[in-house]
Amino acid sequence: MVHNSASSRINGARLKTMGMVPGVSDMIYLKPGGRPLLIEIKTMRGTQSPKQVAWQARVVANGYRYYVVRSLDEMKEICGWKTG
């Protein structure tokens, strides 16, 4: 899980000095035997911020797969997790 949200302005400034990237996806899943998957988690009605859309365009342009996930079932399918 990417720690990329701040609980306060002071903490935000600290995280920024440590390399926080605006808009970065919520998760980077290192799929065994494959390339990393960048995953943004949203509610059924949630939308991406402009910074998240810019991050998505940047990583996709560099050949990575980016997904907006809205349910556990979607997450399992994208990551190739078997159930049962």
Query: 76, 73, 75, 55: which is closest to 64 by C-alpha?
Result: 55
* pLDDT band, very low/low/confident/very high, at 82 (cuts 50, 70, 90): confident
CA distance 37 to 81: 13
Q: Per-residue pLDDT tens for 10-64?
A: 887 887 788 777 788 989 999 888 889 999 999 999 999 999 999 999 999 999 9
Decide which of 53 and 9 is more confident. 53
- Beta-bridged to residue 29, according to DSSP, are 37
Helix (H) or strand (E) holding 61: helix 50-61
- pTM surpassing 0.85? no
- Per-residue pLDDT for 67 more than 80? yes
Which residues, 6 or more positions from 34, have their beta carbon under 8 angstroms from its beta carbon?
none
